[in-house]
Structure 1
Amino acid sequence: MKNVPSLSYLIISMGLISCPVMAEQNEIQETMSEQSDKEENDVKDVLVIQASIDDISKPEVITSEEIRTGTIGNGNVTDLLKTLPAVQMSNGGMSGNQQGEIKPNKITIRGANSYQNNFMLDGISFNNDFDPSSDGNGVTSTTIESSEQGFYIDSRLIDNIKVYDNNIPVEYGNFTGGVVDITSKRWRYNNGGSIFFSSTRSAWNKVYYDHRVDFNTANNDSSRPSRFQPHYKKESFGGWFEAGITDTLGIVFSASHRESDISAVKFMGLSPSLNKNNDIVITNKPYQGFKNQTRDSNNFSGKLSWYMTENTNADLSINYSKHEDYSFSPKEDNSGTQTDHSGIGGMFELTTNFDFAELSLNAGYQQLQDKRKSDQNFFIGFNDYSQYPNKTYNSGGVGDLKTTQKNTNFKTKLQFRPIQFGATLHEPKVGFEYGKTKGIYERDKDYYRYNFYYFNMQPYMNDYWSTSVFEAGHHSASYTNYAAYLDDTIKYQRLTIRLGIRLDYDDFVKEANFAPRITTSYDLLGNGQTNIIAGYSRYYGRNMLIYALYGAQNAGLRHCSGFMDVEECAPGTQIDDSWEHQTDFEGLNSLSTPYSDEFSFGLEQTLFNTLWKFQYVHRDGHNEVVSRPKANNSVIKIFDNSGKSSHDSFSISVSNPEPWLLGNTENTIISSIIWEKNKSNKPKNGYASYDPSGRINKDYVYYNGKVIKASKLPATDFNLPLRFNFELRTQIPDWDLSVYNIFEWHGRRYQAARYDNEYHNDSQHGQLARYTREDFASTFRWDMKVSWAPSFAYGGSVSLEVDNVLNKKNITDRYSYYNSTRDMVILNSYDVGRQFWLQLNYDF
Structure 2
Amino acid sequence: MNTQSKLRPKMLAVSIFIALSGGNVSAGEAVPQLAETQAVHNDSDTNISIERTEITNTPVGNTDLSSLLARESSVGVDTGLSGMRGGDLTPEQISIAGARPHQTQYMIGGVSTNNITTAASNKGNSGTLSSGHPSGYYVDTALMEEVEVLDKNINPEYGGFTGGVVNVELRKAKDEFQAEYQYRMTDSDWNAEPETSAKDKGFADGSFGDGRYQPNYQKRFHTLHVSGAITENQKLAVNYSRKDSEIPLSNNGVTRDYGQSIDNLFVTHELDLGQWQLQSDLRYSKFISKDFLNDSVNQDAAQANSDSSNEHLGLGGTIKLSGNFQSGTWQTTFAYDQLEDNRQSEADYFRTN
Q: TM-score, normalised by structure 2?
A: 0.81
Partner of 2:285: 321
Letter in 1 for 2:102: Y
Deviation at 1:91, TM superposition (A): 4.2
From 238, 246, 252, the equivalent of 1:253 is: 238
Kept in 2, the 8 Å contact 1:343–1:368? The answer is yes
Residue 73 (str. 1) matches residue 58 (str. 2): no
Letter in 2 for 1:180: V
Deviation at 1:122, TM superposition (A): 1.0
Q: Distance in 2 between matches of 1:375 and 1:163?
A: 41
SS at match of 1:380: coil
From 358, 370, 375, the equivalent of 2:341 is: 370
Partner of 1:297: 262
From 150, 174, 182, the equivalent of 2:136 is: 150
Pairwise mapping of residues 52-201 of structure 1 onto structure 2 (< 5 A)?
Answer: 57-93=45-81, 95-134=82-121, 138-140=124-126, 143-201=129-187
Q: Distance in 2 between matches of 1:357 and 1:88?
A: 40
Q: Distance in 2 between matches of 1:158 and 1:218?
A: 35
More helix by share: 2
Pairwise mapping of residues 431-450 of structure 1 onto structure 2 (< 5 A)?
Answer: none
SS at match of 2:45: coil
For the structure 1 residues 176 and 55, does the alpha-carbon distance in structure 2 shift closer, same or farther, using more than 3 Å as the test? same
Letter in 1 for 2:167: D
Q: Distance in 2 between matches of 1:362 and 1:16?
A: 40
Q: Distance in 2 between matches of 1:167 and 1:218?
A: 47
Deviations 1:25-78 (A, max 9, x none): xxxxxxxxxxxxxxxxxxxxxxxxxxxxx9962131111111111113211122
Q: Distance in 1 between matches of 2:302 and 2:85?
A: 18
Q: Distance in 2 between matches of 1:55 and 1:234?
A: 37
Q: Distance in 1 between matches of 2:229 and 2:79?
A: 45
Kept in 1, the 8 Å contact 2:122–2:131? The answer is no
Deviation at 1:312, TM superposition (A): 3.3
SS at match of 2:225: strand
SS at match of 2:218: strand
Deviation at 1:293, TM superposition (A): 0.5
Partner of 2:308: 337
Kept in 2, the 8 Å contact 1:351–1:361? The answer is yes
For the structure 1 residues 156 and 114, does the alpha-carbon distance in structure 2 shift closer, same or farther, using more than 3 Å as the test? same
Kept in 1, the 8 Å contact 2:221–2:241? The answer is yes
Q: Distance in 1 between matches of 2:337 and 2:100?
A: 23
Query: Which structure 2 segments of 5+ residues have no match?
Result: 1-32, 294-300
Pairwise mapping of residues 267-282 of structure 1 onto structure 2 (< 5 A)?
Answer: 267=252
Kept in 2, the 8 Å contact 1:146–1:370? The answer is no
Pairwise mapping of residues 634-783 of structure 1 onto structure 2 (< 5 A)?
Answer: none
Deviation at 1:336, TM superposition (A): 0.8
Give structure 1 regions of 4+ aligned residues with deviation exceeding 4 angstroms.
14-19
For the structure 1 residues 247 and 130, does the alpha-carbon distance in structure 2 shift closer, same or farther, using more than 3 Å as the test? same
Q: Distance in 2 between matches of 1:108 and 1:247?
A: 44
Letter in 2 for 1:108: S
From 323, 327, 330, the equivalent of 1:352 is: 323
Kept in 2, the 8 Å contact 1:112–1:177? The answer is yes
SS at match of 2:55: helix
Q: Distance in 2 between matches of 1:302 and 1:237?
A: 17
Deviation at 1:249, TM superposition (A): 0.7
SS at match of 2:281: strand
Q: Distance in 2 between matches of 1:168 and 1:301?
A: 27
SS at match of 1:373: strand
Q: Distance in 2 between matches of 1:232 and 1:56?
A: 42
For the structure 1 residues 380 and 171, does the alpha-carbon distance in structure 2 shift closer, same or farther, using more than 3 Å as the test? closer
Letter in 1 for 2:140: D
From 355, 373, 379, the equivalent of 2:350 is: 379
For the structure 1 residues 61 and 55, does the alpha-carbon distance in structure 2 shift closer, same or farther, using more than 3 Å as the test? closer
Kept in 2, the 8 Å contact 1:132–1:145? The answer is no
For the structure 1 residues 211 and 17, does the alpha-carbon distance in structure 2 shift closer, same or farther, using more than 3 Å as the test? closer
Letter in 1 for 2:138: Y
Q: Distance in 2 between matches of 1:374 and 1:174?
A: 34
More strand by share: 1
Kept in 2, the 8 Å contact 1:239–1:256? The answer is yes
Q: Distance in 1 between matches of 2:344 and 2:330?
A: 46
For the structure 1 residues 148 and 159, does the alpha-carbon distance in structure 2 shift closer, same or farther, using more than 3 Å as the test? same
Deviation at 1:15, TM superposition (A): 12
Kept in 1, the 8 Å contact 2:65–2:91? The answer is yes
Query: What RMSD over aligned residues (CA atoms) do the two structures have, in Å?
Result: 2.5
Kept in 2, the 8 Å contact 1:117–1:176? The answer is yes
Pairwise mapping of residues 479-494 of structure 1 onto structure 2 (< 5 A)?
Answer: none
Letter in 1 for 2:255: F
SS at match of 1:62: strand
Q: Distance in 1 between matches of 2:95 and 2:44?
A: 23
Aligned pairs, number: 309
Deviation at 1:143, TM superposition (A): 3.7
Deviations 1:498-525 (A, max 9, x none): xxxxxxxxxxxxxxxxxxxxxxxxxxxx
SS at match of 1:120: strand
Letter in 1 for 2:46: K
Letter in 2 for 1:352: G
Partner of 2:226: 241
Deviates more, 1:202-211 or 1:122-131: 202-211
Q: Distance in 1 between matches of 2:239 and 2:212?
A: 33
Kept in 2, the 8 Å contact 1:191–1:244? The answer is yes
Deviation at 1:83, TM superposition (A): 1.3
Partner of 1:202: 188
Kept in 2, the 8 Å contact 1:57–1:169? The answer is no
Kept in 1, the 8 Å contact 2:129–2:310? The answer is no
For the structure 1 residues 86 and 104, does the alpha-carbon distance in structure 2 shift closer, same or farther, using more than 3 Å as the test? same
Deviates more, 1:352-361 or 1:335-344: 352-361
Deviation at 1:135, TM superposition (A): 6.8
Partner of 2:271: 306
Pairwise mapping of residues 595-634 of structure 1 onto structure 2 (< 5 A)?
Answer: none
Residue 220 (str. 1) matches residue 208 (str. 2): yes
SS at match of 1:92: coil
Letter in 2 for 1:315: Q
